[in-house]
């Protein structure tokens, strides 16, 4: 017998209907006729594989971050672990009590008060009335709902609902805590509180599986990363390595996806460091743009550097006049404040009133050479991979 908190998934497959009809009788009847006619055809026709041969073993006390693009199978895997869904093939075993927070309003009934919902949710998670009653004050205090606990949940803000759901799931002393992209609803201070609570749950020996697109949060809390792509495990290893690979991959994909079509078009962009080589930390970075405009117009150009998602580390802007036809724009950053890594250059043109002439989009990729970013202490979310020069003196 494996100890409580163990998660074991062996050769797990899961498929969904590619076109999930309307689940009406006539559709199903039509489907039967279809099946009879093509009885020898591929049995997987019309199905889409969400998970393919996923193998995952998680020991008690591990904190695993599950990352991957939309539709890569993260939520499906989590639902299989909670037993909400059943695998097509393969074995799944989750030992111990599972606290799962799959979605904000999961298990909440709008017509009931926060207190009543707490007991409902508690019994859904397998905890009796007594168990919830014991933890009641703690849960209410954590969720900061002292004034609202006897109000109907439909009058709660979405942040309040999330706080209630998270507090109940996290205070049930679960052996396994599964959290799916829900923290984004809370404000910054509550997010931090949730991350702290998750850490406390882990330190008590529980297992955490955390699904999030907030890579910084994943990095700050998880020790192991599992990257799913197309329903398969692409990487499984220490969180920093897996996240590094993942960041590079999403940037490459973004390049392939960008198109430009509008009043202003980007013809060319070149990015280079000093002497035309790789840009270096605290070294120069030259960006050369060639833009084409239908007629002469005012424009504000913004250049942003991102680490993957469209949220930039920093943005620099400049007002300028575009000629009819082509305009060459050169921008020089004398001292690039980025640490070593792969970054992406995003770009946007706006007119005087802030309307977009060319929407915010990725235009190129840079590899920055230089010192590796210092690791943030555990429990701290680092926002920007900025390299700051510092001199230290340690004395007595």
Partner 1 sequence: MTDDAPTTDAGLTTKAVPPPRARRKIRLSSSLRELWSARELVRTLAERELRARYSQAVLGLAWAVLTPLVLMIVFTLFFRRVADVDTEGAPYALYAYLGLLPWTFFSSSVSLGGQSLIQNLALLNKVYCPREVFPLASVIVAALDTLVSTAILGLLFVITGYAPRLTTLWVPVILVVQLAFTLGVAFTLSSVVIYLRDLRHLLPIALQLGLFATPVAYGIDAIPKSLHVLYSVFNPLAPVIDGYRRTVLFGQAPDWDLLLPAAGTAAVVLVAGYLLFKKLEAGMADVA
Residues of this chain that interact with partner 1 (CB under 8 A) are: 11, 13, 15-17, 20, 22-26, 28, 44, 48-50, 52-53, 69-72, 75-76, 79, 82-90, 98, 100, 102-103, 105-107, 109, 111-112, 116, 119-120, 123-125, 128-129, 227, 229-230, 232, 234-235, 245, 249-250, 252-253
Nearer to partner 1, 85 or 357 (CB): 85
- Phi/psi at 15 (nearest 5 deg)? -130, 155
Nearer to partner 1, 33 or 354 (CB): 33
- Coil, strand, or helix at residue 32? helix
Nearer to partner 1, 12 or 339 (CB): 12
Nearer to partner 1, 234 or 272 (CB): 234
Q: Residue 347 forms beta bridges with which residues? A: 303, 361
Smallest gap, in angstroms, from Cβ of residue 250 to partner 1? 8
Smallest gap, in angstroms, from Cβ of residue 67 to partner 1? 12
Nearer to partner 1, 111 or 393 (CB): 111
Both structure tokens of 78: 């989590």
Nearer to partner 1, 22 or 355 (CB): 22
Nearer to partner 1, 38 or 129 (CB): 129
Smallest gap, in angstroms, from Cβ of residue 234 to partner 1? 3
Nearer to partner 1, 87 or 304 (CB): 87
Both structure tokens of 275: 């002497």
Classify strands 7-17 and 312-322 as parallel, antiparallel or unpaired: unpaired
Residue 314 DSSP symbol? E
Residue 181 CB-half CA count within 13 A: 15
Distance CA(260)–CA(266), nearest Å, equals: 7
Smallest gap, in angstroms, from Cβ of residue 386 to partner 1? 26
Distance of alpha carbon 231 from the chain centroid: 16
Smallest gap, in angstroms, from Cβ of residue 92 to partner 1? 10
Smallest gap, in angstroms, from Cβ of residue 35 to partner 1? 15
CB atoms under 10 Å from CB of 108, counted, come to: 21
Contact between residue 99 and residue 174 where contact means Cβ atoms under 8 Å apart? yes
- Phi/psi at 23 (nearest 5 deg)? 60, 45
Dump strand ranges (E) for 323-355: 325-333, 341-350
Distance CA(77)–CA(13), nearest Å, equals: 10
Smallest gap, in angstroms, from Cβ of residue 89 to partner 1? 4
Nearer to partner 1, 89 or 316 (CB): 89
Smallest gap, in angstroms, from Cβ of residue 177 to partner 1? 14
Nearer to partner 1, 24 or 394 (CB): 24
Angle at 11 between CA 7 and CA 16, to 5 degrees: 100
Cβ partners under 8 Å of residue 181, min gap 6? 75, 211, 212, 213
Smallest gap, in angstroms, from Cβ of residue 50 to partner 1? 7
Dump strand ranges (E) for 125-206: 176-180
Smallest gap, in angstroms, from Cβ of residue 109 to partner 1? 6
Q: Please report, for residues 70, 160, 218, 224, 274, the alpha-carbon distance to residue 66 in angstroms, rounded to integers and kept in the order given.
A: 12, 25, 8, 9, 38
Contact between residue 314 and residue 346 where contact means Cβ atoms under 8 Å apart? no
Distance CA(252)–CA(344), nearest Å, equals: 9
- Phi/psi at 356 (nearest 5 deg)? -80, 125
């Amino acid at each position: 017998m494996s100890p409580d908190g163990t998660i074991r998934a062996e050769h797990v497959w899961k498929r969904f209907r590619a076109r999930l009809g309307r689940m009406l009788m006539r559709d199903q009847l039509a489907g039967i006729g279809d099946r009879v006619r093509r009885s020898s055809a591929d049995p997987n026709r019309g199905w889409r594989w969400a998970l393919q041969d996923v193998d995952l073993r998680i020991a008690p006390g591990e904190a695993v971050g599950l990352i991957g693009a939309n539709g890569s199978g993260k939520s499906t895997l989590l639902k299989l672990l909670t037993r909400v869904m059943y695998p097509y093939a393969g074995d799944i075993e989750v030992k111990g009590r599972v606290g799962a927070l799959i979605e904000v309003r999961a298990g909440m009934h709008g017509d009931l008060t926060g207190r009543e919902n707490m007991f409902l949710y508690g019994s859904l998670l397998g905890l009796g009335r007594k168990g919830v009653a014991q933890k009641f004050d703690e849960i209410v205090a954590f969720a900061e709902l002292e004034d609202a606990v006897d109000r109907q949940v439909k009058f709660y803000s979405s942040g309040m609902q999330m706080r209630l759901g998270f507090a109940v799931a996290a205070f049930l002393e679960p052996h396994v805590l599964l959290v799916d992209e829900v923290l984004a609803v809370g404000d910054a201070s509550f997010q931090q509180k949730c991350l702290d609570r998750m850490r406390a749950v882990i330190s008590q020996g529980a297992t955490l599986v955390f699904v999030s697109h907030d890579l910084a949060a994943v990095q700050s809390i998880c020790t192991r990363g599992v990257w799913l792509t197309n329903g398969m495990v692409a990487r499984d290893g220490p969180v920093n390595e897996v996240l590094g690979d993942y960041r590079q991959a999403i940037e490459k994909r973004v390049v392939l996806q960008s198109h430009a079509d509008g009043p202003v078009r980007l013809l060319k962009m070149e990015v280079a460091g000093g002497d035309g080589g790789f840009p270096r930390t605290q070294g120069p970075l030259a960006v050369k743009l060639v833009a084409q405009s239908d007629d002469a117009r005012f424009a504000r150009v913004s250049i942003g550097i991102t680490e993957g998602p469209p949220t930039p580390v920093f943005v620099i802007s400049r007002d300028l006049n575009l000629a009819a036809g082509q305009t060459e724009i050169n921008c020089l950053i004398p001292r690039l404040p980025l640490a070593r890594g792969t970054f992406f250059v995003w770009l946007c043109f706006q007119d005087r009133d802030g309307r977009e002439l060319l929407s915010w989009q990725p235009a190129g990729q840079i590899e920055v050479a230089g010192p590796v970013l210092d690791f943030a202490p555990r429990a701290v979310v680092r926002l920007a991979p900025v390299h700051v020069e510092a001199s230290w003196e340690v004395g007595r």
